Structures are given as structure tokens and as C-alpha cells.
Structure 1
Amino acid sequence: MAIPFLLGVLACVLVTGGTMLWPGNVYWLTHGDLAQSYLGWAFYRDAPWALPPGANPGYGLGLHASIYYSDSIPLLAMLFKPLAAWLPQPFQYFGLWVLACFVLQAGFAWRLLGLVTPQLWSRALGVLFFVLAPPMLMRLGGHMALVGHWLLLAAIYLCLRRSRRHQSACWALLAAAAMVTHAYLFAMVGAVWLADIVHRHRLTRAEAPIGLRAGIRRWLPEVSLVVVATVMAAWLAGFFMVSGHGMQASGFGYYKMNLLALVNGDGWSGFGLKLPQGAGEYEGFNYLGLGGIVLVGMALLAAVMHRDLLRERMLPRPLLLVASGLTVLAITCNVGIGAIQWRMPMPDGLWLKLSHLSLQSTGRMFWVPYYLLLLAGLFTVLRVFHGRWQIGILLLAATLQLMDLYPGLSGLRSTLLQRSRDTNAAGLRGPFWDAAGTHYRVLRQLPPALMAPGWEQLASYAQRHRMGTDAVMLARFDWNRFLSLHNDQQAALLGGQPDQNTLYLLNDREVALARVAVPATTAALFRLDGRNVLAPGWQGAIPSSAVDLRRAEASSSLFRLPFRGDFVQDGVGRLLLGPGWNSAGAGEVSTLGVKASLFVPAVDAAGLAVHVGLGLHRASSRKDMAQRLEVWADGRLIGDCELAGGSCGELQLDVPDDRRGASFRELSLRSGQPSARLSVALDTITVTLHPPVASAALASERR
């Protein structure tokens, strides 16, 4: 195995330049998907142990995040975390992972080719097509976990190898390893495992026919072992911390493979093989390379000339059927042929189910068929041609491959080297930020937003100062928890009671809200380094370079009475929503449970009642939903209406003073029936000062 080891190391160093391999070099991990992977690990190494062990509470604070959903290769994260106290700061294992991927890719390719030929030179030339496979190398630009194509080669090898010794244990180990590497790799490994089960069952039946019950007894132990190992690995890594609803994603039929992907170099081909494709079809990048195309073409020609090869199946039929299914999944029902896009007609219900699959970037699912195609080409050439002809053909194909891929390899190497040497990564630095990092335990954005522009700087700052943060990027998250986080943080701001241990970064509209809702005596509000900062309990002077947002030209008139707002996307009414609303989406604002909170402006209305007009409608006509709406303020029922009768279209409310003189008064919209879910959507809100006489009467009634 020395030859594949050396080939893997050599390919890794030549492709990457080698600088990314140094564990202390994190400069190349500061943007986008790479930052997500590294920062997920950086937070995880400092986090206390919890159950499940993959829990990563500081990264994605309040979202039940885990090391699994930061794409940080949980397999290695959980391996290195016990050693965190002895590891240097900073430390990254992604370079070592890339090196291991190249070596293992070469090792399993070497073993696969060894099934056909013992010739060292032929196997070495064949390995070249695997360690320089463009679909694998393309992932070096952002998805470190997905560089692990060796897992797919290992699965194919288990399916093709002659010895079946310890087959069940090997599959359990491989499936578990794939699960704690990346979900897409696990899905493909699982598909090949099922093909192997069927193939071995067919071989068993050919030797001695067995019935259904005997077949179940024969394979149940292996199925149980693989399933248990996979589920246990998934639990350890925190896979189940995101609910099934949170596993839903979008992009099916967009992130797919074009039918011409095998011959579309898309910037990698030195011979100009570049074809038009759909916008999202970069996820289906599966270029064979000119050498690979020639190799497969010669194999097809040889197979036609030697008909006995067509009768002799080199790949098991179940594996070919699985490869066909994965190919269809990669192409999807939105078929792309170059620039031409055609959507296959299908029922809306089926399309809806497909659009909510967890695996949306289906163009990746062609990786198994891709390697099977390469193997079929190499197997055919190795069987048909011998001696100098065999070496000559492989050498010609390998030379064409290197010449063709040179632009892509050169560009990738330059990019990786440049990133590895970029020591000027932007961040939050300076006296205030350093002092705030020791004063506060949490860094939050308002409104919360995943993958917001510049999130890498915020998360890096929080990690450097051991702060928890919601300024993160996650592969999947629980939407209900995100809504709860959004609403709770908004309610704290509207109530004028931001958490004293949290440093807030606000957008411009939240600044207008904070200026009115949060007293100047309790929190500093200023703009520094392009960030709007709300610092509760800050005792020191604001930095000299900062702009005091309380003295700046105020936009607090946004909430002065009379006030009118709506609840469309980006409508000012959405700033007034507390817990209980689906307030973070693009659709209408509607209730989520049996009650919801709404804050109404009462600026300069201390001691006075305000009159509120709510435009709303019934969001669902289901009979199990509440038929009556009640509105409460400060523990008193101030209005109600019948939802079923349509009398809630314009709800008029008199809201008394809440005695605290707060700038916003909280209304509680509740179901009028115990345990029945409230289904109300908001359209508009108007708030005016109540006439003084009526205000006095309301105050007297309250007393």
C-alpha cells in the first residue's frame, strides 16, 4: 500500500500547495462554508460536554445547534474534543482531513483496480483518475466534509470484493463513519449497501433456494447492526437535535445535474469543453475530464468489438439499478440539456413532497454512478488490452487528463494558497470590542438572522472571547425554535428589558425601536465600525469614534402617535410582534399557538389610554381552531370577537395605561376556548391617543 499512499500525498500537496495542512493555519477558513465548518469546531472544542455529545450550544445560541449541522465533520470533531486542553490555539483538523481523503481515495481506488489486474503501473495510472476527480476537487473550495469521496469508493469496494469476511461489521463501520461525516455521503453509502444486500441475497439463492422467512432471518442481523450503528452515531453527533420539520430544505429541481455534465468542464477544461447550464446545476458538476472521456469511449468501443464482455457483467445488476436510481435523482424532474430546461409534468402533491426532501442538492447523488462509470471504463481497458498496449492507452488517457484539467487544478491551487496566506481577515477589534468581550457573555443580532452578511466576523469575535452567539451559519435548523428566538428577543427589546449579559447588534429599524423602548439610563446605543450597538448596563463612555445614536437625528417619530402600520414583509408592524407569531417568514403574520403577544406604541402617552384598531382575519377555517378571540392587557380583558362570524375584521380596543410609563404596551391575543389553537392573521394596526376624559374614566374604572 506504499504506492497509493505516496500517490495520495503527492496529489494532495500538488493540488493544495500544502499550506492548508498545517493545523495552526486557519486563515483559509474565514469565509462562507469554510468559516461555518471551522467556527463550528472552534465553539465546540470550548463547549462543556453535554448530551448528546455533539451538542454545540454556544454556536447558534437558542437554536439547539450541534456539531453535525455546522458541517464540521463530527467524526473528527468528537475525536479531537477530548484533546482540546492539549491542542494549540488556534487548531484546525480540516487540512489533515483533506490529506487523509486523498490518501484513502488513492488506497480504495488501488484496491478496486486490483480486483482486475495485479500490474502496478496500470493500477498507478488508474488511481490518477480518482485522486484528481473534478467532482471531489471542486469541494475543496468550500465543503470540506464532501471531499470524503473515499467513503463512496469504500462502499463500492465492499460491494465488489471477492472476500465477504466480516462484511456486516465493515458495512456497519462504514455507514456509521459516513453518517458522522456528511448526510449526503451517508445516503449514497446506504444506497450501495442496499445493493450489496440484494446482490448477496441473489448469490445465496443461486446456490441454495431459500424462502422469504429464511431470507429475513439471514439478513436481519446485518440490517439491525447497520441501523443501530448508524442511529447511535447520528445521536452522538447531535443529528436528532433538529426536528423533522427543521430538516426540510429548499432547492429540489434547482441544485441538480445537467445531462451534459460529464462533458462540461465549466472552467476546468484546457481544451475548451465548456457548455451552458442552469443556474443551480453547478451542484451537479461531474466532469470526467478529456482523459476520462477518451477512456470511457475506448471502453465502449472495446465492449462492442468483444461481445463477450457485454455478457460478462463486471458490476452486479443491483448496483447498476441503484446507480440508475441515483442518476434519475440527480437529474430530477427538471431536466436540463445544456441551456435547455424542461420540467416533467407531475401531480402537485408529489412535487410538494419532493420539494420538502431533506436532500435537496441532488446533483451530488451522481457521484456513485460517476465512479462506477470510471471503473467500468478502466475494468474494460484492463481486461481487453495487455502489456504495452494497456500501459500505452492508460498513459495516453492520463496525459490527456492532466493537460485538460490543468486550468482547473492551477486555479484551485492558487485560490487555496492565497486563502492560506491571507492574514488580514476583517473582524471586530479595538478597545471597546475587547472590553465588551470580557463584560458580556452573549452576542446577539436583532433581528436574528442566519447567514447574515458579515456573520463570520461576528462569530469569530464571539468565539475569540468565549461568548455564545446566534450570528452563525447552519446547514439545517429548527424553524420553530428560530421563530421562538426571534419573538423572544423582540419582546425583550419592546419591553425595554434587554438582557444585561448580552451585547446586541441592531439593524437600523431596530435602532429606532431601541431608542424609544430602552431608557438611556439602562443601555448605551451607538454606531461603531459600521455596527449599531446596544450595550445594556455599559458603565464606561462610548468610544470617541462612535456615533451616539440617542443624540443623532432620531427616527423615533416612526412610533409616535398617531401611528399606523401594516404587517407585510418589512412592514413596520412586524417590529411590534412578541412571542407566538410566525413573524420571520415572508408570508402573512399569523398566530402559532393558543396565544400571542402584540406591543402597541404609547410614546408620550404616560398616564393616558390609547385607542388601537386592529385589522385582522381568520387564518384557517378548520373546525378544531378557536372560534373566539380575546384580547387582554395588564391582566384585564379589553375586547373579544367571534372569528367564525367574521366580526373580527376591524377590532377596536381601548388600552389603559400600564402604570410603568413604558413606551410600548403589551396586548395578549388569546383563544377564547381552552386548549383550542388560535388562528388569526394580522393586516394593519392603528394607534391614537384616547381623549383625556375617556382616559380618566378608564383609569377610574381600573382603580
Structure 2
Amino acid sequence: MNILTHKSHPMLRSDLLWALILGTLAFFWVLGPSVLNPLNASWLNGGDPLQNYLGWAFYRNSAWTMPLGLNPNYGLELSNSIVYTDSNPLFAMVFKVLSPILPGTFQYVGIWLLCCFILQAFFSLKLLGLISNDRRVLVLGSLFFLFAPPFMWRAQAHFNLAGHFIVLAGLYLALRPMPRRQSIAWVALFAIATLTHAYFLPMLAALWLGDLAWKFYKKERQALGAAVELGAVAAVVIFCAWQAGYFAVSNGGASASGYGVYRFNLLSLFDPVNSWDPGPMARWSYVLRDIPEGSGDYEGFNYLGLGTLLILLFALPGYFSSHVKLTSLIKRYPCLFVMLLALTLFAITHRIGFGAFEWTLPLNGKLERLANVFRASGRLFWPVYYVVVLAILYVFLKTTRIRIALGFLALAALVQIVDTGNFREGFQARVRSDAALTVTTPLRAPFWEMAAHRYKKVRSTLPTNQGRDWSTFSKYAASHGQATDMVYLARMDQKALAQAVQQANERIARGAYDGDTLYIVDSSQLEMVKQHLKPEDLLTAVDGFNVVAPGWNACQECLAVQGFEIPVTDARRFKEEAGTTLSFAKGQASASYLERGWSTLEDWGVWSNDHASALTFPATNELRGVAFMMNAFLTSATPVQRIGVSFNGIPVGVFQLSKASDNLLEIELPAAVRDSIAEKGTLTVRFDLKSAIIPRDLGLGSDDRMLAIGLKTIALY
């Protein structure tokens, strides 16, 4: 028989039992037992794993909200939810209900990964049951799904993405004959996918739509039934996404850039090295060598494994010399085949990679912006990957005598397990190493404990995503029940971030700090903070971190606490003088002068991000003029940038910038401006950006900032 078959009375209990046995054994073999201990969070000690754990740690201790997935204490105004810390909304909500009876340190990542292994085994058994009735074949064949490198690799850091069972379940629903309650199964699977990770939604949608379209075409589904199913799936996805907190991020925050970079390379099925991690865990074969690839192709890591490749080699001669043809399956599932082809093309992207070689095709800007919602497109190949594995096993079993097939399957499975041992050994060694470490914090002074009792929030004076010290102060805030904006989020509301930066700059300029908040001062802003500090507020350095503690100097109990390394409250006042050049590149102290209407700092300088931008710096009335070095955002719609400039509220002219880079704009200071500087001690520069425009609105990529000028330096003379 050369088409998929389905037994009318599947042995569900047997499949569940074998899945429990095989999945549990594979879990302990690959990951080891220590990750299953919910009291052991030591292996979640950095990067994405720490982001996942801290997202949950803040979420469990916050009040219930509507939607349920909002996580306001982790980010404050940088609106986010449990979705954007990749903390598994499904498990997070369940365990938040149980949080009052859980210990202080509790992680459910290990429990989730164990479930993934068991369900991976279960649905691989169900899929293999479509091509064989032999229990021995099912058990041996399931090992190629359990030890599939793309599945195992996600278990080291991208934990939610280890839910490959969602893909297998979708394939099973699409390939088996239509049973009763299949619509309910699809709706339930979409709910699980939405509450696990957004990247599973396009994969599942492709499988479901391919199945539904073909059944509608064959009149196995009536129009009303298909419409009801469409509506039910859409409703459950929207509802679950709303409750999980997908819509907490807007203003382009759900999109990003990188489509075409994080792609599926045409040789990925045969490439045993993942370039994401240069260590030993990157190698997935002791035998096969690395195939050079693009820098972002690690997201499209889809190596079949040496055992699967051996079966492919063994099956090919029989395929070409027998009556077994995969074209019969394509004819049976044409709509599904078309959807799998669409996933493949999206995964490959317009930048086609063949090993280290690349060909780039033109792509419309609007389409690229839309594609960037799922920028790591290489992941969307997973349904095709498992169809390839299933097809290899199908051809092999149909062209090989059962006794030979069983023996070779056992040998190939052993090869697959052994040859992927680098990952197993590397992962377990890392977990043991992390567990052996003594958990320490650089925040050792008594000051921090007193501050935790006094302040309800911890903020950075320079809000950003994944700032330099985010992990230190996120852990500090989580351990003391505080809220913080020093966070690491998968996506961030760009408008909220811009507003937070503007508010932080205005707060520094006024010296007006919230009494319930401890501020961590970026070194680039230290001088500006000194200029406007109020007597009752403490500016000091503790354990190497500059902090502003509002009201500390008026608190006798606080003053009794020691541990300040470098008192800096008496720092000298200063003014920027003629001959000085202020740089606005990332890390430069002058960047603290930026107030409102600016984007995030870059290595060369900073883009404006509004119709008006302003900055203020301490100055002397001996200045005679200023010279701005600027870039300009120029397009066919804006061939020049027209900007109005005012100093301390006094207009000094309207100017045009006609070059994309290094425009020199020299302006002499009128007498009225110099008099104003003498009175105020500062110079406020305001740019009215009459031609500011959003690149996304012109179809120029996904950038949703309102760009006009790029400020590099200001020379004072």
C-alpha cells in the first residue's frame, strides 16, 4: 500500500504508556534529572533562561490583572506581559494560581520540558501509526522524533519552542481521516499553541487551512461547518492572545527586523553544526563536518541527524526501483502540500542561502515589514522537517522487508542517539557547573537591604531593553518584591520606551525623583544628575553602582547605614565652555543632555524621534556660537530636511539639510541668547522638525521611528 492508512481502533492506552516510558527515558538521558527539580533554578542563570525565570518570578508575585497575562511590575511603563519574557503563559497562569502554596524559589521549566518529551513521543507514535501497524516499528521510529536535533536544541534556552509536539499534533490531525470532534481538537490545539509561543501559530495555521480547504473541496465539510470552524479558531486565538498579553505591546513593538537573516539555509538538513553557540554543544555529529553558513542561519537549524540520514541513504535505491511513489501522497493531500511549500519558501526568505553562498531577490518594503513579525523564519520549516522524517521512514518501510527494517531501524536509532551525544554531554556539564556555583550578587553593602525596605521600585535613569545591569537589578527587585524597569523583553513598545526615556531625562533636568523609587544612574548621565540634585537626595556609589536615593539625607535611620564607596554629592558644578565638542554617541557623557524627542543612542550618535527634539546643557555666556554635525533622513518624499532651531526659547532660524550625512550647521548666538544663558546657566536647543517622517509609512522596512535628523556632535566656540 502506498498511501497513508489509519487504524479505526488505535491502541490509545498503549500509545500513552509507550509515550510515557520513551519520553521520560529520553528526557533523563538528554537533559538529566536536576532540571526537573522545581527548587533548582541555578541552571537558569543568564540570558534567555534567566529572562524566562525572572518574568515568572515577577508575575507570580503581582496582583491578578485583566488580561490575566499582564506583568506590570516587570517593566513598569514599558508595557509587557508574560508573553514577552517567554515564560510560558500556559504554565505561568496555572502555577500563579498555586503560587501561595509554592516555595519561594520555584521553576516549572523542567516540568514543561518533561511534558514536551512525553508528548513528542506520543504524537510521533500516532503519526507513525498512519504508516505501520507494527508496534516495534512505532517504538523504534519514534526515537527519530525524540532525538531530532532541532527539538533537542530548543531545550537548552528557548524552552517554549521545545513544544514541537504542537507541530506533530497538527500534522496528525491534517493527515488522518476526518474523525468526530476534529474541529474541537483543532480549536484546543490552537489554544495551546497561542498560550505557548506565537511562532507555532503560522505553522499550525498552514496545516489546518490546508486540511480544511481540501476537505471543503472534496465536500467532506459543508460551507457552514467550515465557517463555524474558522470562526471558532479565530475567536479562541484572539481570546487566548488577549488573555496572555500579546496586545500589551503596540506601536511596532511586536515587529522587529531580521527577516532574511534568521532563515532556513538550503543545506540545513545536512549541516550538523549550529553556529549560535561556538562551544562543543554546537556540534551535533562526531562524524559529519560543518557546512559554512550565514551568520543568522542558526535559527534555521534543521539537521536530520546521522541516523535519519543513514535511513535515507538505505531507502533511496529501493525508492527508485519500486512502485512506491511520494507523488501519490501529494495527490492525496494537495492543499497540505501547497501550505508546506509556502512555509518552506517563507523559511528560505528572499535571501536564499546555499551553504556560504547567497542570492538576494527584491522584496517590497511593506511585505518585509509584515514578514518581520516572524523574523526568525527558519523555525517555520519545522512542519516540513517532520514531514521529511516521516516520508523517509515511510519509503524505507515500504521498500524493505520487515526483519531487515527492524534491525536497521534499531541500528540507525542507536547511531542517532550516540552521534548527538555532544549536546547531551555539554548540556548536562553546564547544568552541573551552574549548580556547583555559589549564587552571589555584587550588591553586598548594607545599603541595599535598607533601600529594599524604603523603596518600592528600582529604575534606571537611562531606560532601555536588556541594559548592561538588567539581570543584577531584576534579581534584586524580584527578591525584594519591588517593581523595576531594568528588564529584558522579547519585544518592547517603542513609543512607551521613547516616552520613558523622555520622562527620565526631564526627571534628571528637574532633579525631581519619586520618593518611592531607587534610581540606578548611568555613568553617561552622572554629571547632569549632579547639576540638579536636591539636598535631601543622596547621590553616591555603592558596590560600584551609582545610585540616587530620594529623601535619604532626611532619614536618620538611613544615614546610619554604611557601605558607600565613593560619596559624590559634593561634586563640582561646571559649565561647558568654548572649545568643547559634545559627542552624542553611545556611552558618551554628553548623551545625558538629551531631553525629549530622541531615539536610542547608537555608536555614531542619535536619531530624532518626533516632530520636535530638545536638549539642554550647562553653558557660559562667553559662548559665541555652536556648530552642529548632523545626518539627515532623506527620501524621494523628503529630499531635504527643514528644521527650525531655537535657543532658550528664542528662534534663531529655519535651515535645510540636503546631505544624508555630515551636514555642518553653524549658528552664532544672538545677544539675547547669551543674556538668557547668563541668567539660566544653561542652553536649551530645540529643533522643530518640519519634515520628520516614519520610514515604515513609505514602505522602507519596519522602522516606525519618526526620523529627521541624526545628531552626532555639537562644537562650542
Task: Identify the residue that residue 307 of structure 1 maps to in structure 2.
Answer: 323
Pair 1:292-2:308 in alignment: yes
Task: Identify the residue that residue 169 of structure 1 maps to in structure 2.
Answer: 184
Distance across 1 between alignment mates of 2:49 and 2:518: 26
Letter in 2 for 1:639: P
- Please point out which of 79, 82, 97 is paired with 1:82: 97
Letter in 2 for 1:576: Y
> Are residues 423 and 121 of structure 1, via their aligned partners in 2, closer, same or farther at CA, if it must alter by over 3 Å?
farther
| Residues 339-354 of structure 1: pairs in structure 2 closer than 5 A | 340-346=356-362, 349-350=364-365, 353=368
Pair 1:548-2:547 in alignment: no
Pair 1:413-2:428 in alignment: yes
Letter in 2 for 1:548: P
- Please point out which of 329, 333, 343 is paired with 2:346: 329
Q: 1:305 deviation in Å? A: 2.1
Distance across 1 between alignment mates of 2:544 and 2:583: 29
Deviations along 1:212-238, one digit per CA (max 9) or x if unpaired, are: xx9754522111111111011111111
Pair 1:43-2:53 in alignment: no
Distance across 2 between alignment mates of 1:19 and 1:449: 34
Pair 1:12-2:27 in alignment: yes
- Please point out which of 175, 186, 190 is paired with 1:160: 175
Q: Which stretch has the larger CA shift, 464-473 or 294-303?
A: 294-303
Secondary structure (helix, strand or coil) at the match of 1:183 reads coil
Letter in 1 for 2:343: L
Distance across 2 between alignment mates of 1:104 and 1:663: 68
Distance across 2 between alignment mates of 1:145 and 1:215: 36
Q: 1:358 deviation in Å? A: 1.2
Secondary structure (helix, strand or coil) at the match of 1:117 reads coil
Distance across 2 between alignment mates of 1:351 and 1:231: 24
> Are residues 50 and 310 of structure 1, via their aligned partners in 2, closer, same or farther at CA, if it must alter by over 3 Å?
closer
Kept after mapping to 1: 8 A contact 2:446/2:563: no
Pair 1:320-2:344 in alignment: no
Q: 1:311 deviation in Å? A: 4.9
Task: Identify the residue that residue 299 of structure 2 maps to in structure 1.
Answer: 283
- After superposition, the CA RMSD in angstroms is 3.4
Distance across 2 between alignment mates of 1:491 and 1:277: 47
Secondary structure (helix, strand or coil) at the match of 2:669 reads strand
Q: 1:263 deviation in Å? A: 1.9
> Are residues 337 and 659 of structure 1, via their aligned partners in 2, closer, same or farther at CA, if it must alter by over 3 Å?
closer
Q: 1:2 deviation in Å? A: 0.7
Pair 1:639-2:646 in alignment: no
Q: Which stretch has the larger CA shift, 191-200 or 582-591?
A: 582-591
Pair 1:650-2:667 in alignment: yes
Letter in 2 for 1:249: A
Letter in 1 for 2:190: A
Task: Identify the residue that residue 531 of structure 1 maps to in structure 2.
Answer: 545
Kept after mapping to 2: 8 A contact 1:110/1:127: yes
Task: Identify the residue that residue 691 of structure 1 maps to in structure 2.
Answer: none
Task: Identify the residue that residue 415 of structure 2 maps to in structure 1.
Answer: 400
Secondary structure (helix, strand or coil) at the match of 2:57 reads helix
Distance across 2 between alignment mates of 1:312 and 1:135: 28
Q: 1:296 deviation in Å? A: 2.4
Task: Identify the residue that residue 229 of structure 1 maps to in structure 2.
Answer: 236
- Please point out which of 486, 490, 493 is paired with 1:478: 493
Percent identity over the alignment? 32
Task: Identify the residue that residue 661 of structure 2 maps to in structure 1.
Answer: none
Secondary structure (helix, strand or coil) at the match of 2:168 reads helix
Deviations along 1:132-173, one digit per CA (max 9) or x if unpaired, are: 111111112211101100000010011012243222221121
Letter in 1 for 2:99: A
Q: 1:354 deviation in Å? A: 5.4
> Are residues 401 and 649 of structure 1, via their aligned partners in 2, closer, same or farther at CA, if it must alter by over 3 Å?
same
Distance across 1 between alignment mates of 2:246 and 2:326: 44
Q: Which stretch has the larger CA shift, 308-317 or 447-456?
A: 308-317
> Are residues 627 and 477 of structure 1, via their aligned partners in 2, closer, same or farther at CA, if it must alter by over 3 Å?
same
Distance across 2 between alignment mates of 1:183 and 1:612: 53
Distance across 2 between alignment mates of 1:373 and 1:590: 47
Distance across 1 between alignment mates of 2:480 and 2:456: 8
Q: Which stretch has the larger CA shift, 509-518 or 576-585?
A: 576-585
Pair 1:462-2:462 in alignment: no
Distance across 1 between alignment mates of 2:306 and 2:657: 70
Secondary structure (helix, strand or coil) at the match of 1:28 reads coil
Distance across 1 between alignment mates of 2:710 and 2:611: 13
Secondary structure (helix, strand or coil) at the match of 1:413 reads helix
Q: 1:529 deviation in Å? A: 2.3
Secondary structure (helix, strand or coil) at the match of 1:578 reads strand
Unaligned regions of 5+ residues in structure 1, if any?
208-213, 689-703
> Are residues 28 and 681 of structure 1, via their aligned partners in 2, closer, same or farther at CA, if it must alter by over 3 Å?
closer
Letter in 1 for 2:227: L
Task: Identify the residue that residue 47 of structure 2 maps to in structure 1.
Answer: 32
Distance across 1 between alignment mates of 2:38 and 2:431: 15
Kept after mapping to 1: 8 A contact 2:524/2:590: no
Distance across 1 between alignment mates of 2:47 and 2:311: 37
Q: 1:477 deviation in Å? A: 0.7
Secondary structure (helix, strand or coil) at the match of 2:458 reads strand
Task: Identify the residue that residue 598 of structure 1 maps to in structure 2.
Answer: 615
Kept after mapping to 2: 8 A contact 1:16/1:417: no
Distance across 2 between alignment mates of 1:652 and 1:195: 68
Unaligned regions of 5+ residues in structure 2, if any?
1-15, 274-282, 659-663, 692-705
Q: Which stretch has the larger CA shift, 327-336 or 156-165?
A: 327-336
| Residues 361-380 of structure 1: pairs in structure 2 closer than 5 A | 361-380=376-395
Letter in 1 for 2:317: L
Q: 1:329 deviation in Å? A: 2.3
Q: Which stretch has the larger CA shift, 657-666 or 419-428?
A: 657-666
Task: Identify the residue that residue 597 of structure 2 maps to in structure 1.
Answer: 580
> Are residues 323 and 122 of structure 1, via their aligned partners in 2, closer, same or farther at CA, if it must alter by over 3 Å?
same
Kept after mapping to 2: 8 A contact 1:151/1:185: yes
Q: 1:53 deviation in Å? A: 1.6
Task: Identify the residue that residue 511 of structure 2 maps to in structure 1.
Answer: 496
Distance across 1 between alignment mates of 2:579 and 2:360: 54
Secondary structure (helix, strand or coil) at the match of 2:325 reads helix
TM-score, structure 2 as length reference: 0.84
Q: Which stretch has the larger CA shift, 67-76 or 78-87?
A: 78-87
Distance across 2 between alignment mates of 1:550 and 1:148: 53
| Residues 36-115 of structure 1: pairs in structure 2 closer than 5 A | 36-115=51-130
Deviations along 1:541-562, one digit per CA (max 9) or x if unpaired, are: 473461223467x6x6574677
Distance across 2 between alignment mates of 1:629 and 1:592: 15
Letter in 2 for 1:528: V
Secondary structure (helix, strand or coil) at the match of 1:532 reads strand
Q: Which stretch has the larger CA shift, 444-453 or 64-73?
A: 444-453
Letter in 1 for 2:67: P
Q: 1:667 deviation in Å? A: 5.9
Distance across 2 between alignment mates of 1:197 and 1:524: 65
Kept after mapping to 1: 8 A contact 2:458/2:519: yes
Secondary structure (helix, strand or coil) at the match of 2:582 reads strand
Task: Identify the residue that residue 451 of structure 2 maps to in structure 1.
Answer: 436
Kept after mapping to 2: 8 A contact 1:525/1:549: yes
Distance across 2 between alignment mates of 1:586 and 1:443: 27
Letter in 1 for 2:341: S
Pair 1:522-2:541 in alignment: no
Pair 1:258-2:275 in alignment: no
> Are residues 529 and 342 of structure 1, via their aligned partners in 2, closer, same or farther at CA, if it must alter by over 3 Å?
same
Task: Identify the residue that residue 23 of structure 1 maps to in structure 2.
Answer: 38
Distance across 2 between alignment mates of 1:429 and 1:591: 39
Kept after mapping to 2: 8 A contact 1:611/1:655: no
> Are residues 170 and 216 of structure 1, via their aligned partners in 2, closer, same or farther at CA, if it must alter by over 3 Å?
same
